Amino acid sequence: MIAFAQQKNDLERLAFKMSPAPQLITGHRVMLDCNEAFLQLFGYSHEELVGHLTLLIYPSQADYTTIGNRSRNWLLNSNSCAYSDERFMQHKSGEVFWAKAHGYSLTLDDPFKLMVWHFERMDRPHHATVNLTPREREVSMHIVNGLTCKEVAKKLAISHRTVEVHRARLMKKLQAKNSAELVSKIIFVN
């Protein structure tokens, strides 16, 4: 009986580690464990993540705080142990990417005490709070990652003048005065 229980535990541990879905276990927003797919998605080693705040995988302190407050409030007020959203996350290299996040609290009275998260990288945002065209979303993803208009144009195989027009529209829609503010607002509004 003991051998069977140990074998079952070993299989469950193996299933978690080798699951193709990027998974993270947190305790009060500290990373307790993660699987191989999660490490690949974010570019870190297991040792670089475990024991650290999830702040490490957010593009900014503001995102970490805002999303944390939003998810905690949802879990406390909805009588649900599940939370999902779409957000920007950050790879170890500094690349910012759009992701769908699904969290499940195992301790509903204190939601962040123990949670399991699943992340899914997305090509571009689907539900921005500002009405952006698909091309503006695509351009915004490259701007967030520090590319110039000419570099974005090359990646998208369009003229740099077209990228400049999209960038100008983004600045107007997001009411940004300069490039740094534009990046911040692109990250924050999503």
pLDDT, tens only, 66-75: 899 999 999 9
C-beta neighbour count of 129 within 10 angstroms? 9
Looking at residue 123, its pLDDT comes to: 67
128: confidence class by pLDDT, cuts 50, 70, 90: very low
Residue 177 burial by Cβ neighbours in a 10 Å radius (0-12, 13-18, 19+): exposed
Which residues, at least 6 apart from 78, have a Cβ–Cβ distance to it below 8 Å?
A: none
pLDDT band at 28 (very low <50, low <70, confident <90, very high): very high
Tell me the pTM. Answer: 0.67
Q: How far is CA 20 from CA 34, 39, 68, 146, 148, in A?
A: 12, 11, 25, 30, 34
Give the whole-angstrom CA distance, residue 163 versus residue 150.
8
3 or 34, greater pLDDT: 34
Is pLDDT above 70 for 104?
yes
pLDDT given at position 173: 87
Would you say residue 15 has pLDDT above 90?
no
**134-143 mean pLDDT:** 84
Amino acid at 90: Q
Q: If pLDDT is split at 50, 70 and 90, which confidence band does 39 have?
A: very high
Q: Measured at the alpha carbon of residue 8, what is the angle toward residues 5 and 11, in degrees to the nearest 5? A: 150
Q: Residue with structure tokens 């123990």?
A: 114
Distance CA 186, CA 96 (A): 11
At residue 188 the predicted structure's pLDDT band, cuts being 50, 70 and 90, is: low
State residue 118's pLDDT score.
97
| CA atoms within a 13 Å half-sphere pointing along the CA-CB vector of 176 | 20
Let me know: does 31 contact 51? Beta carbons within 8 Å.
yes
Q: Which domains does the chain have, with CATH numbers?
A: 2-122 (3.30.450.20), 134-189 (1.10.10.10)
Tell which residue, 104, 124, 10, 29, has the closest CA to residue 68.
Answer: 29
